[in-house]
Structure 1
């Protein structure tokens, strides 16, 4: 199964674009920060990940305000067929979370 749930903030967005087939695509960069326990040691985890939302969700995704924590759900896939880079494909997101 390829499913990812992540609490993150959008730190950068690009303008809504359309595929040759007319499918709207919203692109953004997400940032995540959390503390996790691994091998009885607390580990600080911080990273940025590229994300896209395609189709019906793209307009709502593109309207999300920057730097507000939300839970995003989706899956990981290669940026393109020949790439080793991963992109988070968002299929659902929640309301803003309180800090």
Structure 2
């Protein structure tokens, strides 16, 4: 199974681009910060992860507020066929910011 759920904020976002097939894609960088427990020891985790949203969700992703906290769901895949770098492909997200 390849499923990732991550609470993060959209730190940076590129403009919408389109694949040769006309599918809209938005690339972004997500910023995550949390405390995790590893080997019974608390560990501070701060990271930035490359993300993309394609198709119908790209419009909503493009309008999402920068800096707001969201719960992102999706999967990891290589950036391209020959790359070893991973990208988080966002398939859904929801706001978790208290209003």
Give the TM-score normalised by the residue count of structure 1: 0.96
Work out the number of aligned pairs and report it.
99
Distance 1:66 1:77 in 2: 24
In structure 1, the residue matched to 2:83 is 83
Is the CA contact (8 Å cut-off) linking 2:30 and 2:51 kept in structure 1? yes
In structure 1, the residue matched to 2:4 is 4
Runs of at least 4 residues off by over 4 Å: none
Alignment RMSD, CA only? Answer: 1.2
- 1:51-91 deviations in whole A, cap 9, x for unaligned? 00000000000000101111000000000000000000000
Which runs of 5 or more residues in structure 1 are unaligned?
none
Is the CA contact (8 Å cut-off) linking 2:68 and 2:95 kept in structure 1? no
- 1:29-66 deviations in whole A, cap 9, x for unaligned? 00100001111110001110000000000000000010
Distance 1:85 1:39 in 2: 27
In structure 2, the residue matched to 1:34 is 34
Q: CA deviation at 1:95?
A: 2.0
Which runs of 5 or more residues in structure 2 are unaligned?
none
Give the TM-score normalised by the residue count of structure 2: 0.96
Give runs of aligned pairs for residues 1-99 of structure 1, distance below 5 A.
1-98=1-98
